[in-house]
Chain A
């Protein structure tokens, strides 16, 4: 079980890690926060890395964009990877900008043959560049395209199989998108190729009118916990992480959320994790 590493928790995490007082097994760091020359964040990450595994999770790969891949970004990411030696690297199956304009958001792709071919080719190039397999996360979305030919889960599975990459299955995002687009989240989870799931994300969301928004500012909702149990019964004991990015609670509250995931996972998979 892991939690997202946030600067507000550096003092507790860095004090507890060397003393063996952490109740989680690993941390996920947002890659972009550490692509800077120096200062506190890179120092804190290096310090934590000496006592706990780190996974790097990015938001700017822009793997679904029609723009060329950002070579400078990839070079900086490679340098961070060399420095931190993460357990794995992940980003999102989405696009974040086009025409050089970065929207700093995770936008869905049209689920078309063109998009599959485009993303697959780029994921392969990224994996060759970074000399390792990456995992792609399904995003929460608030719109879909009339051009969609397949449902999202088929799109995700097709990209992962053809690009030979992993899947970071965000169960909260499945729930949010299922609500926003009117599909069955269980059908989604049951269609994901189990052997490609590196990791699971859990987070909170909120309501805005008829939509659910993936805000990461609440505890995980009961409906999402239930979906998580369903997912791990099928997938087995997958590394799971709690994301909490806004209205961030005390570190102990975040850890408690991860411990709940551990209990549910043990119950669903029949043993300690």
Chain B
């Protein structure tokens, strides 16, 4: 079977005990071989069984299909299944990196951060942090410095898809509130809502992907941007927010009362402009379904 990517070649596992008599040893040995990033053959070499003798002593082979070939069926299925899941969760990232680089990225990530959660849904959960900070992800960061930000955006969309449900407060409920209650009022935001502070302008890449268009030929530039991701009903949505809105939204996410949000807005815009902007933001948040309840 073919090697699984240049990035993975540099990554070797430590010595592992040969298969012993116990179920635990057998299973750990097989896991190491099935998940070996450069294939079962390289895995056997790294585990000190280059001729596959220990494997043949454990897994039955026959003239038509050796023990190694039988294990490769599981190894190939492992990488194909997980790469498909990552490609689905990180569709724009895959489109922007291209198939070969994404393949290498997925292989290196799976080796560094193998799936631990019972559900495939979470297999890609650690990709943004790994891509953004792990030394083993350096080749990808050098080539695609914006990729970790795009991964963060796409994982936020995944999380929003099945975040806990929340009601959307009707506009009339806001209008009915007496003025004196506003300063102490806390806006409860839906659990799906996430505010991302990004260093690269990656939103156009995701928009192009959503529209079925090819990624922009020019890579994203460095530009501080803020994106809000949320779900309204069954639709996962995202939009850019400016600095003032982001500051107020961050306060609301921390559970600060509306009076504090207004002070934050005033610190950005000045006392004169703050009330109108606060009112406009409240209107927009209500329209977008960002207010679940008032507390």
Contact = CB atoms under 8 A, between A and B. Distances in A.
B121 A32 contact: yes
A99 B70 contact: no
A142 B78 CA distance: 14
A29 to B, nearest CB: 14
- Interface residue tally of chain A, by bracket? 35 or more
B164 A37 contact: yes
B222 to A, nearest CB: 34
A143 B70 contact: yes
A43 B163 CA distance: 12
Interface stretch (B89-97, B111-119, B247-255): B111-119
A145 B23 CA distance: 11
B118 A62 contact: yes
Instruction: Report the interface size class on chain B.
Output: 35 or more
B104 to A, nearest CB: 21
Contact of B118 (A40, A70, A107): A70
B163 A38 contact: yes
B60 A210 contact: no
Interface string B98-118: 000000000000000011111
A36 B60 contact: no
B121 A98 contact: no
Contact of B22 (A65, A101, A114, A211): A114
Interface string B1-27: 000000000000000000000111011
Nearest to A37: B164
Contacts of A38: 162-166, 191-192
Contacts of A114: 22-23
B53 to A, nearest CB: 12
A32 B59 contact: no
Contact of A32 (B28, B120, B163): B120
Interface in A87-115: 95, 97-105, 107, 109-110, 114-115
Interface in B184-243: 191-192, 231, 234
B78 A104 contact: yes
A102 B35 CA distance: 10
Counting chain A CB atoms within 10 Å of each CB, the highest count among B35, B120, B166 belongs to: B120
B39 to A, nearest CB: 15
A89 to B, nearest CB: 15
Contacts of B27: 65-66, 95, 98-99
Nearest to A66: B24
Contacts of A73: 118
A147 interface: yes
A240 interface: no
B60 A145 contact: yes
B73 interface: yes
B117 A102 contact: yes
Given A37-B191, A60-B118, A103 B64 contact: no
Interface in A131-152: 142-148
Given A40-B161, A213-B73, 11 more contacts: A39-B162, A39-B234, A40-B162, A66-B22, A101-B114, A102-B117, A104-B81, A110-B26, A143-B59, A144-B60, A146-B59
Interface of A: 32-33, 35-43, 60, 62, 65-66, 70, 73, 95, 97-105, 107, 109-110, 114-115, 118, 142-148, 208-211, 213
22 contacts: A32-B119, A35-B118, A36-B121, A38-B163, A38-B164, A66-B23, A66-B27, A98-B31, A99-B27, A99-B28, A101-B35, A102-B115, A104-B78, A104-B115, A115-B23, A142-B74, A143-B59, A144-B59, A146-B58, A209-B65, A210-B64, A211-B73
